[in-house]
Structure 1
Amino acid sequence: MKRAKGLTAALVGLVACAGLIGCAGPDAEANPHTAVPDRFTGQQLDWKACGAPTLDEVGAQCADVTVPVNYADPQGPTLTVAISRIAGTAPQRGVMLSNPGGPGGEGLDFMVAVAEAMTPEVRARYDLIGMDPRGVGRSSAVDCRWPVGFGLHSAGLDAVGFAESVAIQGDLAARCAATEGARLAHVTTRNTARDMDVIRGILGAEKISYFGTSYGTYLGAVYMQMFPSRSDRMVLDSAADPDEYGTVGMMRAMGPANEAALDLWADWVAARDGVYHFGTSRAQVRGAVQDLIRQAADKPIRLGEYEIDEHWLPVVLFVGLDSPDQYEMLAGQIRTIADAAAGKPAQPDDTLDSTLGFALQARPKDNSAQMAIMCGDVAAPRDPAFYLRNIEAARATQPVFAGFTNNITPCAFWTPPAEPATAVRNAVPAMIVQSTGDTRTTYAGAVALHDDLSASRLITLQDVPIHWIFGRYQNSCVYSAVNTYFLDGTLPADDRTCPAD
């Protein structure tokens, strides 16, 4: 059965304690191998200026934390985790750690944006801690030396396109294995949660509060499972279902959500046909987009220094559909690509140039850390036929995104995970914040996490297709709920639904 609730959940916990692993206390799951030596938990940090404008402007400081590569071998090799601190003026609640998602997202300056959504009273009470997780950014970073920047792309329109995907993804996985070696198996969410607890100890906090969005909600939930007695005020914004986390279940759930967002975007574009010239109805705009993808499959579209084919054009759409604030930007980008396809003079704007440069040229660097974390967390099916069946089954209802959200990934060629995936089932209080139209972490996933966290409350933003709310998308109801919880620890008596402002 998928979910254990109430008495069943309690029995599951009792059986686990009576089994071969045993239970040594409330945080027994955290370190199933060897206790973390004092040389990690007692290290003195060398705080200094971060050298990043967004952080330096708010007076943040940065430091490097040394942690084991493998917590089962704490005397073995080490790696560095980079953290930042924006000090509170009256930090009565101690520290608030954070993660911006991805996985693979650099988070040193993430709390700058989040702090802007906090009331002054909340902001004063915490030292806000940003972090580049292990394998990411300024931390000891994974660098698989990929020729592309992104481990996710569309399978295209037919078996030929899918065969190209299989070859590409197998090559990406092989590059990671060759360049990263044994360290790769330990760039995982469970080890990042252990890193967070080392950081907690170094900072002298008995517990941590936490704000995470997207993948950061999974990391937060894993920390709550591994370290329940050390979890304080936990806010999980745009939440992932921990049972579906990975490159299969979580990705497949994005298909219908992105098709629905594409409908809304097509309506917006159709109402502005005098500007974009894709048609005056949803069907006409969608038809123009699908024609453009077919054209890219026949012959890649040359735009400046880039060649955009059927594998990457859906990625441009996916990137642009995670907020209604981006509809105008996305419409302009697709108009530019369509002009290039028609042989008209066209150049990408700065945002599209950034997306294409990253995706097609790994510029300034690849995001192989994303696949390292996801593939290291959860095993994926290895048979290419599994993915092709899913793609073909979804094409009728997902004509644009079936090939993207069901495609094979490097995880199909990865070494199996070093540890089992974390089963999240606990009663640690938490606030889950979710929009009904989220295109990355779907609303159903947030409801599932809410079920798994039996003491949580769910704050729903109704009828807005936005991913990441607090700190990105102003809503007085959501912001009030989060700030109240961070201020005095008060969760609403019941779940709450917030209308759009």
Structure 2
Amino acid sequence: MKRVSAVLAALAVGAGGLAGTGVAGAEATPSRFYEQDVEWTACGDAMLDQAGAQCAEVTVPLDYSKPQGRTIKVAISRLKAADTEHRRGIMLSNPGGPGGAGLHFMLYIKGAMTPEVSSRYDLIGMDPRGVGRSAAIDCAWPIGHMLWSAGLNRADFRDAVRTQADLARRCAREEGDRISHITTRNTARDMDVIRATLGERKVSYFGMSYGTYLGAVFTQMFPHRSDRIVLDSAIDPDAYMAGSIRNSAPLNEAALDEWATWTATRDAEYHLGATGRQVRARVEGLIRQAATTPIRIGEHHLDERFLPMTLFTLLPDARYNAHLAARVRQIADAAEGKPVQPSKDLDDELRFTLTGRPRDLSGQAAVICGDAAVPRDPEAYWRDIQRSRADQPVFGPYANNITACAFWAPPREPRTIVRNDVPALIVQATRDTRTVYQEGVNLNRAMSASRLVTLQDVRMHGIFGRLPNACVQNAVNTYFRDGTLPAANLTCYAG
């Protein structure tokens, strides 16, 4: 059975290179990759080992078009199905990013599903290629990531151009040609190799955020290998990734207004303003002050490029309103010259963002830049930034900013066009600030056999298992248990 599965898998990869692109892709991968033995051992990780998980490494080609060449190892984890009588197969997963390590994510999935459902699958976590234990990319960046604001003026933008060009140069110097193979399409191919080495005919899958794009690409490249697919907080493949980031700016501005109104009703506690307009003005004033003199908070100096990102990280979930208000209060105190020791989460976030420690997200850049080409003319970004400022004063300069991708080597393959009839369940909140609701609608149209579960009037990114909504939970669990999609698109409500 394993050898038959390997032969079929090799054929699937050959066809998968063509899917959605109209051009030739990977050559058929030698069967030795699909027939390899997997050696399960203890993970050497306290959380995984305590949960009873096992870990293994799967060998895959670095370059699927040259399968006789260099190889890398992809790390996977497994919680075996407890209900062997009703075992469905394997369920792979991805937590998002790109660049998110995934060995632990199947523990989250198990906790989100009912025991009846989770017991039927071997739950498989995976560090995607270029991440974590899977041949991690490390460009030795002096900052944590490439996604930050362009600032307030032309001088700030010129600095952004120089910095992003430097980030790209560092990756070319540190990683060389290897980095061009850290892409979503190659991760999808890795998933199919994992499927075959585990002796399975099909893959079930749960992906969140960027993980929805990976899942959609897998269904396009390997439609006959796709079983029960759930995509939570989805990306529109036609917008990925720069378009998705631009789409998020208006929703983040709206979320900031919503948060400001909430905070204003608690002015006695936070002292940031008695009206929503006053609170927003305070935030924008802090950004202008940081542009003149970076705000000293603890051991960090927070400037106008990164201050908006300290808001962005907490806006996706309305339950973080108090947390965000307390964070802004700390920054405001620091701006007034008071000695402030930031909360641990803010301290950790600033250390990572401003220094790249303990590890930067250059692996994320590798995927984003390797998946889809972007404009290379800095002036195009500057014009978009300037146009955005009128109604997106805080997040427009972030969402339209130039990134290292403008200085990256061109992608090796065209962007994946997703158009298929693979059944899938898409879950999307209407006020998602990261992957906006329309992106889920668009993916639902692109995957014609999918169903969309809408969570109405909720600010939330990543829903299943994070928000105790019986309607959403039931839809996902029913699909994973029985393979039954809703008869039509479904709307769920909070409460």
Distance (Å, rounded) in 2 between the aligned partners of 1:145 and 1:27: 35
1:432 aligns with 2:419: no
Q: In the TM superposition, what are the counterparts of 1:127-166 in structure 2 within 5 Å?
A: 127-166=122-161
Distance (Å, rounded) in 1 between the aligned partners of 2:26 and 2:138: 28
Distance (Å, rounded) in 1 between the aligned partners of 2:187 and 2:367: 10
Distance (Å, rounded) in 2 between the aligned partners of 1:104 and 1:492: 32
Report the TM-score when normalising by structure 1: 0.94
Distance (Å, rounded) in 2 between the aligned partners of 1:336 and 1:491: 47
1:353 aligns with 2:347: yes
Q: Once the 2 structures are TM-superposed, how far is the Cα of residue 38 of structure 1 from its aligned partner? A: 2.4
Amino acid at match of 2:316: D
Aligned mate of 2:176, from 176, 181, 186? 181
Residue 362 of structure 2 is matched in structure 1 by 368
1:498 aligns with 2:485: no
Residue 116 of structure 1 is matched in structure 2 by 111
Report the TM-score when normalising by structure 2: 0.95
Secondary structure of residue in 2 paired with 1:48: coil
Secondary structure of residue in 2 paired with 1:96: strand
Distance (Å, rounded) in 1 between the aligned partners of 2:178 and 2:12: 30
1:321 aligns with 2:315: yes
Amino acid at match of 2:227: D
User: C-alpha offsets along residues 155-201 of structure 1, whole Å, 9 cap, x if unaligned?
Assistant: 00111111111111000000001111011110000000000000000
Contact 2:298 2:339 (8 Å CA) reproduced: no
Secondary structure of residue in 2 paired with 1:63: strand
User: C-alpha offsets along residues 98-117 of structure 1, whole Å, 9 cap, x if unaligned?
Assistant: 00000000111011112111
Gap regions ≥5 residues in structure 1: 1-23
Aligned mate of 2:192, from 188, 193, 197? 197
Q: Once the 2 structures are TM-superposed, how far is the Cα of residue 25 of structure 1 from its aligned partner? A: 7.5
Distance (Å, rounded) in 2 between the aligned partners of 1:291 and 1:145: 33
Residue 72 of structure 2 is matched in structure 1 by 79
Q: In the TM superposition, what are the counterparts of 1:274-313 in structure 2 within 5 Å?
A: 274-313=268-307
Residue 258 of structure 2 is matched in structure 1 by 264
RMSD of aligned Cα (Å)? 1.2
User: C-alpha offsets along residues 125-162 of structure 1, whole Å, 9 cap, x if unaligned?
Assistant: 00000111000011100000000011111000111111
Moved more, 75-84 or 194-203: 75-84
After superposition, the Cα gap between the structure-2 partners of 1:398 and 1:57, relative to the gap in structure 1 and judged at 3 Å, is same
4+ runs deviating over 4 angstroms: 24-27
Residue 8 of structure 2 is matched in structure 1 by none
Distance (Å, rounded) in 2 between the aligned partners of 1:39 and 1:276: 62
1:29 aligns with 2:34: no
Residue 7 of structure 2 is matched in structure 1 by none
1:474 aligns with 2:461: no
Amino acid at match of 1:147: P
Q: Once the 2 structures are TM-superposed, how far is the Cα of residue 54 of structure 1 from its aligned partner? A: 2.3
Gap regions ≥5 residues in structure 2: 1-10, 19-24
Amino acid at match of 2:151: G
1:64 aligns with 2:54: no
Residue 50 of structure 1 is matched in structure 2 by 43
User: C-alpha offsets along residues 316-360 of structure 1, whole Å, 9 cap, x if unaligned?
Assistant: 111111111222111111111111110112111111011101100
Contact 2:14 2:29 (8 Å CA) reproduced: no
Q: How many residues align?
A: 477
Distance (Å, rounded) in 2 between the aligned partners of 1:119 and 1:311: 43
Contact 1:41 1:202 (8 Å CA) reproduced: yes
Distance (Å, rounded) in 1 between the aligned partners of 2:146 and 2:74: 23
Contact 1:461 1:478 (8 Å CA) reproduced: yes
Q: Once the 2 structures are TM-superposed, how far is the Cα of residue 57 of structure 1 from its aligned partner? A: 2.1
Contact 1:233 1:485 (8 Å CA) reproduced: yes
Contact 1:27 1:229 (8 Å CA) reproduced: no
Distance (Å, rounded) in 1 between the aligned partners of 2:26 and 2:256: 47
Contact 1:30 1:227 (8 Å CA) reproduced: no
Secondary structure of residue in 2 paired with 1:129: strand
Amino acid at match of 1:457: R
Contact 1:30 1:194 (8 Å CA) reproduced: no
Q: Once the 2 structures are TM-superposed, how far is the Cα of residue 26 of structure 1 from its aligned partner? A: 10
Secondary structure of residue in 2 paired with 1:71: coil
Distance (Å, rounded) in 2 between the aligned partners of 1:53 and 1:319: 27
Amino acid at match of 1:318: F
Secondary structure of residue in 2 paired with 1:49: coil
Amino acid at match of 1:149: G
Q: Once the 2 structures are TM-superposed, how far is the Cα of residue 27 of structure 1 from its aligned partner? A: 7.2
User: C-alpha offsets along residues 35-85 of structure 1, whole Å, 9 cap, x if unaligned?
Assistant: 222221111122111122221221111111111100000111111111100
Residue 100 of structure 2 is matched in structure 1 by 105
Secondary structure of residue in 2 paired with 1:320: coil
Residue 372 of structure 2 is matched in structure 1 by 378
After superposition, the Cα gap between the structure-2 partners of 1:341 and 1:26, relative to the gap in structure 1 and judged at 3 Å, is closer
Contact 2:180 2:411 (8 Å CA) reproduced: yes
Contact 2:143 2:352 (8 Å CA) reproduced: yes
Distance (Å, rounded) in 1 between the aligned partners of 2:239 and 2:107: 30
Contact 1:90 1:124 (8 Å CA) reproduced: yes
Amino acid at match of 1:346: V
Contact 2:57 2:76 (8 Å CA) reproduced: yes
Amino acid at match of 1:258: N
Secondary structure of residue in 1 paired with 2:472: helix
Amino acid at match of 2:41: K
Q: In the TM superposition, what are the counterparts of 1:221-260 in structure 2 within 5 Å?
A: 221-246=216-241, 248-260=242-254
Contact 2:456 2:491 (8 Å CA) reproduced: yes
1:445 aligns with 2:436: no
Q: Once the 2 structures are TM-superposed, how far is the Cα of residue 29 of structure 1 from its aligned partner? A: 2.4
